[in-house]
Structure 1
Amino acid sequence: MTVRHFLSFMDCSSAELRQLIARGIELKALRNRGVLHEPLRNRVLGMIFEKASTRTRLSFEAGMIQLGGQAIFLSSRDTQLGRGEPVPDSARVMSSMLDGVMIRTYAHEMLTTFAAHSQVPVINGLSDDLHPCQLLADMQTFFEHRGDIRGKTVAWIGDGNNMCNSYIEAAEQLDFTLRIACPEGYEPNPRFLERAGDRVQLTRDPREAVAQAHLVSTDVWTSMGQEEETRLRLAAFKPYQVTAELLDGAAPEVLFMHCLPAHRGEEISHTLLDDPRAVVWDEAENRLHAQKALLEFLIKPPLHA
């Protein structure tokens, strides 16, 4: 049987993504009712972190425990990957001992190379190109609050980064319109834009992007690995701060999301996370539930289960 990976939103069909979102909502309800659900008992997830994390580590580790399995945290200092062992060699060895591998890294090529040599599912916990697990949580949050996102309008304000690229893929797969407002020189990867076609619109004006939008999302202006560009980025992105006043131009039922951590006073105004239209805390919690649905979907349960 072919091993399924989740390196991008394109690794699942539209129907499968909707099933994952619905299952995440179900698993959240089970946990809130105190129902024990352990389909992955005796299953082990390896977690390779080349980039620091709060939400990714907590959600995957807690998620595996809640599903009855275990998770092993591996930083660059903990494996021979950090000492130059070829990725294919590490993939062959690790996947012979584990039931799944989650990788949070810089180069997306590291993920695709590892997956090509892995016997078990590989999950993209974040790369410089994409952040599909965050998009699962974002979409679950929208579905919980507003129903299906099909036919809706989403605005992305700020850097055309990995989150923006994943929003482009989500627009393709879940059938919504995406407007991206970013300064010149900070556009998303052209290959994602070309594939999405007229489903995605690019503008320099945040107000134009937000007009009557049902969801507005943003991210930090300086991502990990870009610290030397901070001064230039702060100047370029200053007109792109998301404020309560900017949200006033959106649809009355608009939701605001941010994948966190947030820099108050930079990409968002100081009080925006307290705005009733902001659902960032639900969004953060949903990393746990959406990823539990993903783990349940990808990792085979024990034969006796």
Structure 2
Amino acid sequence: MKHLLSILDIGSGCEAESIIKKAIALKKNPLSKRSALSGKTVGIIMEKPSTRTTVSFAVAAHQLGALPLILSADGMQRKRGETIEDTARTLSRYLDAVAFRTFSHGDLETFARYSSMSVINALTDTEHPCQALGDLMTIAERKKTFAQVRKTKIVFVGDGNNVLISWLYLAALTGLNFVHAAPKGYSAPPDVRRKTAAIAAKTGARISYTDSPLAAAKDAGVIYTDVWTSMGDEAEAVARKKAFAPYQVNSRLIKSAARDVVVMHCLPARRGQEITGEVIDGKHSIVFDQAENRLHIQKTVLLEVLATQK
């Protein structure tokens, strides 16, 4: 795997499980790979705001022995009109890998096509693969085995956004029981649902959709939520707040779930909107374990993509 642009770049559920198992092992023994990328340089380009992704990629590269180089989008010539193709060709002469956060997934794909270095999707409008991998790692840590993960009902309550799309692909690949609850008109795009269904038909994954959050939450082992308005959708914020109000993850929703349910949020959270402070700070929340695991999964992703380089 030279690039990780989409969850679909991971060839199989077994490969996805392998990445997650390696990340769990690396978390337990972080010094085992402390010089694995010695002499390498990893660029981190953020064209959208970022806290966790920037810091976790920089620390991941450093802890593997590489030099992390954070590149401000405002300080790059792309802002003044340099093409993405020329940017990719040039940076490939200096860097071994780039974690790239941008708006258009098409731009990311073009950047990778013209790169000789490895390219990792650090979020686009279409997908956020490192987030989904880190999330599944967090669940797998608690469940101990993937057999137990597959027995767990995982419910995503909220917008059909980039995180949800990566989760749908990952759930389908790994044979999970995954439910998306959202208002009508806010589910995943039809082409994503078709791809997901085709993969699920081969792996035995159970993927379903509903507009009832309470029905979705019944007996759930995991309840996941995200912001109602993603970066770039701010003009729709008022309409979205109204549409998603019944989908708040609060104590009432948690009572419908399994007794040992865990609550996840990829952060940043809008407390009082998609999730209450009581829940995100409560006994069911594993939100900050989830945030930590971005570091460990991204260390593993860096090792995987850079292993393809001679």
Q: What's the Cα RMSD here? A: 1.6
Determine the C-alpha separation between the residues in 2 that align with 1:82 and 1:174: 39
Determine the C-alpha separation between the residues in 2 that align with 1:138 and 1:288: 11
Could you tell me the percent identity over the aligned residues? 40
Is 1:258 aligned to 2:265, yes or no? Answer: yes
- Partner letter of residue 185 of structure 2? G
Aligned equivalent of 2:203: none
- Partner letter of residue 159 of structure 2? D
Aligned residues: 299
Determine the C-alpha separation between the residues in 2 that align with 1:302 and 1:174: 27
- Partner letter of residue 2 of structure 2? R
Determine the C-alpha separation between the residues in 2 that align with 1:69 and 1:81: 25
Cα deviation code 1:217-273 (max 9, x no counterpart):
010111111222211111111000001221221222321110001111000012111
Aligned equivalent of 1:11: 9
Is 1:20 aligned to 2:27, yes or no? Answer: no
Aligned equivalent of 1:102: 99
Cα deviation code 1:84-123 (max 9, x no counterpart):
2111111111112110011011111011111111111110
- Partner letter of residue 4 of structure 1? K
Name which of structure 1's ranges 285-294 and 75-84 shifts more when overlaid on structure 2: 75-84
Name segments (4+ residues, structure 1) moved above 4 Å.
none
Is the 1:180–1:209 contact (alpha carbons within 8 Å) kept by the matching residues of 2?
A: yes
For residues 98-247 of structure 1, the aligned pairs below 5 Å read 98-147=95-144, 148=146, 149-197=149-197, 199-247=206-254
Determine the C-alpha separation between the residues in 1 that align with 2:71 and 2:176: 37
- Unaligned residue ranges in structure 2 (runs of 5+): 201-205
- Unaligned residue ranges in structure 1 (runs of 5+): none
Is the 2:154–2:223 contact (alpha carbons within 8 Å) kept by the matching residues of 1?
A: yes
Which residue of 223, 246, 255 maps to 1:248?
255
Cα deviation code 1:176-230 (max 9, x no counterpart):
1221111122111211111222732111100111111221101011111122221
Is the 1:42–1:302 contact (alpha carbons within 8 Å) kept by the matching residues of 2?
A: no
Determine the C-alpha separation between the residues in 1 that align with 2:158 and 2:298: 26
Cα deviation code 1:148-185 (max 9, x no counterpart):
22243211101111111111011111111221111122
TM-score, normalised relative to structure 2? 0.92
TM-score, normalised relative to structure 1? 0.94
Q: Displacement, 1:292?
A: 0.3
- Partner letter of residue 27 of structure 1? L
